[in-house]
Structure 1
């Protein structure tokens, strides 16, 4: 793991890893929620943006993707992120 960051509401932890993934965790339950794939290099940082609740993983090269909160009808709001726009 290179880095980790809590969401602004502290309900999720995102970790950036050397294997080109971002993993989302539920710290209270101590379990994984999702694995976000598609990065071209190791994810060395994760930043949350409070105003629009976006998550931005950072690679050694650049910020490749921006994620917005995911809303699953079956699960309700707040169960992960999906690519933004």
Structure 2
């Protein structure tokens, strides 16, 4: 699976893109695979309750998906964590 990340996730995985071995399953499974390979990514994806933050946006092959949706092994995934902070 090809993974493209944005924002602070780039520093967690060491760049904008990576390729991971993934045998298919749900989007949650795909995210778990990413976090297993890059544990620092967890802080940007999961809340205190260890659930995927509702502000995280994920697309699979260009389509917006939810965490329980199916994700094929050869998917191209984009992950956009919430951007926090800023001032007025």
TM-score (norm 2): 0.29
Structure ranking higher in helix proportion? 2
